[in-house]
Structure 1
Amino acid sequence: MTKILVINGSYRSDGITDQAINVMVLALREANADVDVVLLREYPIEFCLNCRECTQQKGSVPGKCVQQDAMQALVDKIERADAYILASPTNFGSVTAIFKRFMERLVVYAYWPWGQHSPDFRKNNEPKKKALLVSSCAAPGVLGRWLYDTHKQLKTTAKVVGAETVGTLFTGFVSQRSQPILPPQIQNKAKSLVAKLL
């Protein structure tokens, strides 16, 4: 059974991002995938301390963080998963602050000894897993995808954990109403995209 890990960086319960994830999760479960959804808004992750203690050990296994929070359990989930859905709406031209906090803690996936100018990512030489990227913005979808950093940051996150991006769901014009509803054509695209993870 394929294990899919969903990491959702939306602040808003039942907003566009949650609605898109719900459609995808339902489709994956109908295809007998094992799906685990992590809502970062409910997940206790502290800020990275930039101590780089976790980056000093060689090898493909993620380093150990000095923080005593739930990030280690999330790294364990990342390691066990066969594929990912990484999601964040666009806030101020970027992923949300909670998704960025999560991204920064992924430094455990880097080997970066003192004196070395830049990190080597631990998963670069391993077989790639698959990832779908989900985002939205107030601007037109195509424009938002290219103007803002959200898509780039989600793609970087996938790469760091050892995944290749195989599909993207980017919804535009999401600020037209206070209670947005995921359009039927986007729901259909969300359903069709999940096949790329299986």
Structure 2
Amino acid sequence: MAAARKIVAIVGTYRKGRVIDTAVSEALCGAEDGGAATETIYLIDRHIEFCTNCRTCMQQADVGRRGRCVLDDEMEAVLQAIDEADGLVLASPVNFYNVTAVTRRFMERLVGHAYWPWGQPAPKVRDKTQNKRAVTITSSACPAFFARIAMPGGRKALKAIAETLGAKVQTSLLFGMVAQSPDATLNDKDRAKAFLAGRRLAKSLA
């Protein structure tokens, strides 16, 4: 019997149990219903340092998909979990027009996926293969239709992360009007959307 496909969620929210976390949980429940094994990685729980822009990881040639960072933290362990995954769920709320700071910090640490030796005018992506699939999830205090037009930064950032990690975005979820109260939660309709997105992701990997 073939091993179950693996889906890893990278969660950039600060608030467990709230909108983004709930959406991710529903998506992973859907993925499990579709036959996949799942894992959740909360960026706030991992020791991930800020990129110092030393570019050491970008100097290394012939190292596969990415260069090795000199910082001694948990980033490599997170990347190894992603390497072993067939699908990804990437999630962050929009805070001040874009993804959260912890998500941005994670994003900046992905620069080793490019090769940029000193003296060259621009970086080159080491491996453009996209053999994974991804669901991105974000949320906004304003209506979803307005956020898509006026604040596209969050969705663009999550898409860039997915592509850098070798994943093609299959579904992009944006939940609006989620800050109407201090303890706002995800409504049943949006929970169902997340569940179906996760299930569809798992089924596409079979």
State the TM-score, normalized to the length of structure 2: 0.92
- Is 1:136 matched up with 2:149? no
Q: Distance in 2 between matches of 1:164 and 1:127?
A: 6
Q: Give yes or no for contact 1:123–1:161 (8 Å, CA) kept in 2.
A: no
Match of 1:86 among 69, 87, 90: 90
SS in 2 for 1:167: strand
| CA offsets 1:139-196 (integer angstroms, 9 cap, x no match) | 1012112322100000011111111111011100011111112111111111111233
Q: Report the counterpart of residue 27 of structure 1 in structure 2.
A: 30
CA apart distance, 1:114: 1.0
Q: Give yes or no for contact 2:23–2:186 (8 Å, CA) kept in 1.
A: yes
Q: Report the counterpart of residue 185 of structure 2 in structure 1.
A: 181
Larger mean CA deviation between 15-24 and 138-147 belongs to 138-147
Match of 2:198 among 177, 190, 194: 194
SS in 1 for 2:93: coil
SS in 2 for 1:177: coil
Q: Report the counterpart of residue 147 of structure 1 in structure 2.
A: 150
Q: Distance in 2 between matches of 1:81 and 1:62?
A: 16
Root-mean-square deviation over aligned CA pairs: 1.2
**For residue 18 of structure 2, what is the amino acid of its counterpart?**
G
CA apart distance, 1:13: 1.4
CA apart distance, 1:32: 2.6
SS in 2 for 1:114: coil
State the TM-score, normalized to the length of structure 1: 0.95
SS in 1 for 2:174: strand
Match of 2:66 among 62, 66, 69: 62
Q: Report the counterpart of residue 124 of structure 2 in structure 1.
A: 120
Q: Report the counterpart of residue 17 of structure 1 in structure 2.
A: 20
Q: Give yes or no for contact 2:130–2:168 (8 Å, CA) kept in 1.
A: no
Q: Give yes or no for contact 2:93–2:140 (8 Å, CA) kept in 1.
A: yes
| Number of residue equivalences | 197
Gaps of 5+ in 1: none
**For residue 75 of structure 2, what is the amino acid of its counterpart?**
M
SS in 1 for 2:53: coil
Please list every run of at least 4 consecutive aligned residues from structure 1 whose deviation after the TM superposition is greater than 2 angstroms: 58-61
Q: Give yes or no for contact 2:139–2:178 (8 Å, CA) kept in 1.
A: yes
**For residue 18 of structure 1, what is the amino acid of its counterpart?**
D
Identity of aligned residues (%): 38
Q: Distance in 2 between matches of 1:117 and 1:196?
A: 41
Match of 2:174 among 141, 155, 170: 170
